[in-house]
Structure 1
Amino acid sequence: MRKVWDIHGGVHPPESKTQSNHCAIASIELAEELVLPLSQHIGAPSTAVVTVGDRVLKGQLIAEAQGLISAPIHASTSGTVTAIEQRPIAHPSGMTADCIVLKPDGLEEWIEIDACNDYKALEKTEILAKIRGAGISGMGGAGFPAAVKLNPRPNQKITTLILNGTECEPYITADDMLMREHANEIIAGALLLAHLLDNPSEILVGIEDNKPEAIATMQAAAENTAVEIVVFPTKYPSGGEKQLIEIVTGKQVPSGALPASIGIVVQNVGSAFAAWRAVRFGEPLISRVTTVVGESLALQRNIEVPLGTPIQHILQQHGWQQENAARLIIGGPMMGYTVESPLVPVVKTTNCILAPSRQEVPEQPPAQPCIRCGMCAEACPASLLPQQLFWFAQSENYEKLREHDLFDCIECGACSYVCPSNIPLVQYYRASKSEIRIIDADKQKSDRARVRFEARKARIEQAEAEKEAKRVARKIAAEQAKRLADEKKALAGPQGTATTTSSELADKASTAAKPTDVDPATELAKLERALSSAQSRQERATASLTDMQREDPDNTARIESLQARLKQAQLKVNEAEQKLGSFKAAQNSVVATETIIKQKLTSSPLEQLQKSVDTIGKRLTTARQKLAEAEAAGTPTVEALRQGVAKLQQKLDTSERELVEAKAATSTASEVATEVNSDHNKTLSAADIAIEKAKAKAAAQANMSDTEKRAAQLTSLQSRLTKARERLAKAEAENNENIDAFRIGVEKLEVKLAEAKEDVKEKA
């Protein structure tokens, strides 16, 4: 026989298993409605893929998994979805959660299922997909998705597969009866799981010696296979994952680690059975074997019950005498929890419904002060110090709780069971774990917020740097443009002999716009060296931490110090990357600004006017769209938007008129220039012609007296006013929507003309 080991601590509470293991697994009538919670497993809740009113078939997917640590939900029978709403679920807090409510139609009409005669002909990824798609999760514990356990990391070589058939909790016999009646399928499931894990050297099924019928049946089924049935003495809580590993292999899982880290995978016998049914017959997990037990019931036994069946329906089928029941417990008396409402449904992890009488489970005596007897430490199977954990939990000293490995507690209740002071130790531990998880979640949320804040701050700083660079460039460009305008005016005078071209002037402005206080190449090299240095420090810190974790994993103080050093190095790298990125963005902004300045200065007046007309036209189109939306919505900004449209229309009209005049002037100037340069076969550019025209105009104005200048201005205003009145008359005749804009333009020109006339009279 295989050697087995003992575990530290443990207790021997009354087994109370004979009440429910005397008859075969039975079935009950379908409930009038099934309530299927979207969260029946550890991890993210699934998401409904059906809607109210949909008719579904038995085995049909009704909620899909969300993420890796999640599992899908399937319809337990055929029927109609009547609601998707909050309903009470089996939880110690009595909380509600999103559930799909299904009204059975009694037809039990299945979907088309995909059977497989030889799973070895399939790729392992296909088999895992079948198990995951069937919604298989741990059926003896917290409900961890089975497909995740069966797909370990590439660096984790699995040498031992263990099926947990221990079922050490008092009253519960669901796995016992499952092994008696479905031993062959459980063994087939074990071989299937072993195939997925690359055939580990050991395939073990651990069973306590208080289940002789199950042991005999499983041994017969495992004959001539690689599966070994390991029998060991009854002791609570030998069914805990880490405790079972120590019993059958002698190995201990390190604190905070998973069994896969030492080459072991553990699955419940119920999970192996469900996985086999899913792969071989294509059946999703829609029912499970559950123990229904307690002296307040007329009938105690094991039943195969559809998931989602309300517990109240099950109790009624077993003659529940509610007035004699002390409480209603999901699970066993040691690790189970009380539920307030019998309306909660059966889920994938519901292995027992315990309805004890008041004689079976009397009221808990009031807690007394701790007498420091040490019995809790002797009973703890995880070799913890329950007394110290209790004190730290009372004082809410969460750091000390972490140091004393609170999360290694499996909440078996052995410490509470032996405590002579009747202190509910496990409740303290559960509450502290919950608080620590909340604190950790808040810290993670705070860390994410800090990272987002720092990233936002960096973006703002980068944007400010770009904005400042653009502002400086615009200021320099404006100063240069003003200087260039003065130079052009001087060139246009009668004595102007300079030959500076517009291209040369643009180059001067571009040169002046460049920052001279910092050499960009020097600064870039400096920032790149800083980043390279920070990355080197990060690589050294990573190497040191990796070496320490490999060579001395128990030296937590040194490991934490190296982790802090690595985090600081990572922050330095991030800071260096942000500075380098900001500098490059600022340089790119300066270059872009220089390009724009040069383009503006080298473009001809005609091109500038055309661009102005295009820009104003786009703005006018956008303004009209906003005005139409505002008028349709009846917002109070309609009048302001209407005035804005009128002003833009006026600007567009003025710019278009100037463009037409410039084109005409350019055409004339081009003809003259062509004639002048015909001997040399050259044609002046439009920009040079415009410059020549500007020179001629400036020369003509230079020779005018003040009186002549005022007279010319008066003539120009009269001409513009005449044209504006013509446009207004045309708009009024066509009932143009921009009549107000034309009218405002006429009024402004009339005011300017009146002022000009007054000025002429005063100077006469």
Structure 2
Amino acid sequence: MRLIERFFKEPRWGVHPDDHKRPAADVPLRVLPQPARVHMPLQQHVGGAARPVVLVGQKVLKGQLLAQSQGNISAPIHASVSGTVTAIAEVTAPHPSGLGFAAITIESDFADRWIDTDPVADPFALAPEEIARRTAAAGVVGLGGATFPAAVKFVLGRRLGVRTLIVNGGECEPYVSSDDRIMRDFPEQVVDGARIIMHAIGADESLVGIEDNKPEAIAAMTKAAAAYPEVKIRPVPARYPMGSDKQLIQTLTGKEVPADARAAEVGVLVHNVSTCAAVHKAIRLGQPLVERIVTINGAAVTAPGNIFAPLGTLVDDLLAFCGLAQAPARLILGGPMMGTLLRHGRVPLVKGASGILAFDAVEAAVPEVGPCIRCGSCTRACPMGLLPLEMAAHIRSGDLDGAIGYSLSDCISCGCCAYVCPSHIPLVQYFSHAKGELSARERAKLRTEAGKRLAEARLARLERDAREKAEVAARRKAERAAAKARVPSPQPEPQEAST
């Protein structure tokens, strides 16, 4: 009977990969010595890239504004070291393509001189709008990987009447433990940040979801939240991808977010634990987001652990600090399930990067792909309730519309399907490829529609010009005719009589 009850009560999605978090998670947090230079990308968030407001050769202080946000969905960029701006040019983006994107390079003066900050003694005396404004000005974005501007979610949550804040401490990605360390080392910052966010959005309670394989973090957060009954620590089962917003919401509240809806529409808002700590610093200390904790892990690393590092630090510098036992066979920014493959280590640390993994040949080995045996393992593992094998079949045959019919857009690219596939079919790559093709098709459609609108506007303009010219010509012709009618005809001169 208990086995049957457990079968129906436990979530029937997700996987249990080996977490590989230790010993990195248990090593005390280390601080990276200030690097000689940092590269601050202008695009470290969802939305429009920031616009530079500094010039090459300009002296800057730590925390100084380098680039301001553009548009409603954007975030500013601040200097993570004090020094001199030496370039505003392209650097390698944290993307498998290895393409470049714009960044501001700062040569450090190693003085670590901060700007004058504007701390707030009592954030709860501020209006919610002021908290959102200060959070936006500090460049705080979602540090769990989504990098959505935090202040935009504050405004949305208040507008939609959100009553519950969920603080995401799941951190289900294998190897990565940066959130674990921030909950262990700075639990007061996380709890205070959560309370500030609650005030900003008007929430009544905060549920902190932490996977039960992090007992030290649970203990530290429970102690920090003891004086605040509105902040409740909720251990959740260690199951990948428990750190995904929709899965955590369903586990903690029982609410299911519809496929075409946002979490705020069901009365819930989700923020990562590291984001909460960044909000604490932005409001309490007046410090913008210029540094973060990042996990350095993998078999190729000599001394794995968690490092407190300035944003813009090159991956190579972080790996050199921890030491490499051998040249990595594969570099990943983030976790192994949803992270980004890097071509090399000359890539800057960005706001959403929770980990850097240096795998050896064994960890990086890719098993041979076999044919689909239609076992259904991928379907059982999918946390979104999709049919990965059907989507992949349509994609392989070039039928993207058929894949859309199986809700391809709801795929969160968690990798559960590929992880459990006994044939080792790279299902996530199929889905990512299809999403890219669909995005390209949508962009082409938009360009075609824009071209059509321009052509129609040009044709309308030409017709209007022709009509106006015809009207002007007709008017002038009428005016000439009228003027001619007003001129009297010449009378014949009288002839003299003959004598």
TM-score range, shorter chain: over 0.9
TM value normalised by structure 1: 0.62
Equivalent AA in structure 2 for residue 218 of structure 1: M
Say whether the 8 Å CA contact 1:5–1:249 is kept in structure 2.
Answer: no
Match of residue 355 from structure 1: 358
> Aligned match of 2:432 in 430, 433, 447?
430
CA distance in 1, matches of 2:117, 2:50: 22
* CA distance in structure 1 between the aligned counterparts of 2:9 and 2:295, rounded to whole angstroms: 29
Structure 1 or 2: more helix by fraction: 1
Distance change >3 Å, CA 291–CA 153, structure 1 → 2: closer
RMSD, matched Cα? 1.8
Aligned-partner Cα distance in 2 for 1:6–1:102: 51
Deviation at 1:287, TM superposition (A): 0.3
Q: Is 2:145 the partner of 1:141? A: yes
Residue equivalent to 1:401: 403
Is the contact between residue 19 and residue 293 of structure 1 (CA under 8 Å) also seen in structure 2? Answer: no
Q: 1:452 offset after TM fit, Å?
A: 3.1
Partner Cα distance (1:6, 1:184) in 2: 32
Q: Identify the match of residue 381 of structure 2 among 376, 379, 387.
A: 379
Corresponding letter in the other structure for 1:192: I
* Cα offset, 1:453, TM superposition: 2.8
1:26 aligns to what?
30
Match for residue 575 of structure 1? none
Aligned 1:565-580 pairs, distance under 5 A: none
Cα gap change, 1:265 to 1:704, in 2 (>3 Å): farther
1:184 pairs with 2:188: yes
Residue 327 of structure 1 aligns with which residue?
330
Partner in structure 2 of residue 304 of structure 1: 308
Query: Percent of aligned pairs with the same residue?
Result: 42
Structure 1 gap segments, 5+ residues each: 495-701, 706-764
Aligned counterparts of 1:6 and 1:302: Cα–Cα separation in 2: 32
Q: In the TM superposition, what is the alpha-carbon distance from 1:155 to its structure 2 partner?
A: 5.4
Alignment partner, residue 366 of structure 2: 364
| Residue identity opposite 1:370 in structure 2 | C
1:471 corresponding residue in structure 2: 473
How far apart are 1:5 and its partner, in Å? 6.8
Match of 1:267 in 2: 271
Q: Distance in 1 between matches of 2:376 and 2:208?
A: 34
Aligned residues of 1:396 and 1:432 also touching (Cα < 8 A)? no
The aligned residue for residue 121 of structure 1 is 125
**What are the within-5 Å matches in structure 2 for residues 313-712 of structure 1?**
313-323=317-327, 325-359=328-362, 361-485=363-487, 488-490=488-490, 493=491, 702=493
What is the aligned partner in structure 2 of residue 211 from structure 1?
A: 214
Partners of 1:33 and 1:307 in 2: CA distance:
11
What's the CA shift string for 1:471-499, capped at 9, x where partnerless? Answer: 222222222322332xx134xx37xxxxx
Distance 1:237 1:424 in 2: 18
Question: Any stretches of 5+ residues in structure 2 without a counterpart?
Answer: 1-7
Q: What's the offset of the Cα at 1:206? A: 0.4
State the number of aligned residues.
488
- Residues 158 and 200 of structure 2 are in contact (CA less than 8 Å); yes or no, is this contact kept in structure 1? no
Q: TM-score, normalised by structure 2?
A: 0.94
Aligned to 2:5: none
Whether 1:150 aligns to 2:174 is no
Measure, in 1, the Cα distance between the counterparts of 2:415 and 2:293.
24
Decide whether the 8 Å contact of 2:143 with 2:352 is kept in 1.
Answer: yes
Aligned pair in 2 of structure 1 residues 257, 127: CA closer, same or farther (>3 Å)?
A: same
8 Å Cα contact 2:157-2:269 kept in structure 1 = no
Larger radius of gyration: 1
SS at match of 2:25: coil
3-state SS of paired residue (2:24)? coil
The offset of 1:260, in angstroms, is: 1.2
The answer for the alignment partner of 1:103 in structure 2 is 107
Distance 1:27 1:74, change over 3 A: same
Q: Encode CA deviations 1:264-314: one digit per residue, 9 max, x unaligned.
A: 110000001001110111000000000111121110111100000011011
1:84 equivalent to 2:88? Answer yes
**Contact 1:7/1:243, CA 8 A, preserved across alignment:** no
Helix, strand or coil: the match of 1:411? coil
CA contact (8 A) 2:68 2:76 kept: yes
What does residue range 233-272 of structure 1 map to in structure 2 within 5 Å?
A: 233-272=237-276
Q: Secondary structure at the match of 2:489?
A: helix
User: What residue in structure 2 maps to residue 44 of structure 1?
Assistant: 48
Equivalent in the alignment of 1:724: none
Aligned equivalents of 1:71 and 1:703: distance in 2?
94
Matches of 1:154 and 1:53 in 2, distance apart? 43
Aligned counterpart, 2:3:
none
Counterparts of 1:258 and 1:426, CA distance in 2: 23
Would the aligned equivalents of 1:5 and 1:247 in 2 still touch at CA under 8 Å?
no
1:119 shift after superposition? 1.4
Question: Are 1:8 and 1:382, in contact at CA under 8 Å, matched by a contact in 2?
Answer: no
- State whether structure 2 residue 205 is matched by structure 1 residue 202: yes
Deviations 1:625-666 (A, max 9, x none): xxxxxxxxxxxxxxxxxxxxxxxxxxxxxxxxxxxxxxxxxx
Moved more, 270-279 or 363-372: 363-372
1-structure distance, mates of 2:163, 2:443: 35
Contact 1:255–1:405 at 8 Å: present in 2 too?
Answer: no
Seen in structure 2, the aligned counterparts of structure 1 residues 212 and 35 have a Cα distance that, compared at 3 Å, is same
**1:92: Cα distance to partner?**
2.2
Matched letter for residue 241 of structure 1: D
Query: How far off is 1:122 after superposition?
Result: 2.0
1:572 counterpart residue number:
none
Contact 1:208–1:232, Cα closer than 8 Å, also in 2: yes
* Greater relative CO, 1 or 2 (CA 8 Å, sep 6+): 2
* SS class of match (2:234): strand
Query: Do the aligned partners of 2:158 and 2:201 also contact (CA within 8 Å) in 1?
Result: no
Maintained 8 Å contact 1:297/1:315: yes
Matched AA of 2:330:
R
Letter in 2 for 1:349: G
Shift of 1:366: 2.4
Deviating beyond 4 angstroms after TM superposition, the runs of 4 or more aligned structure 1 residues are none
Higher strand share: 2
With over 3 angstroms needed to count, the CA separation of the structure-2 counterparts of 1:322 and 1:340, relative to structure 1, is: farther
In the aligned structure 2, how far is the partner of 1:56 from the partner of 1:154?
36
Distance in 2, Cα, partners of 1:153 & 1:211: 29
Aligned AA for 2:226? E
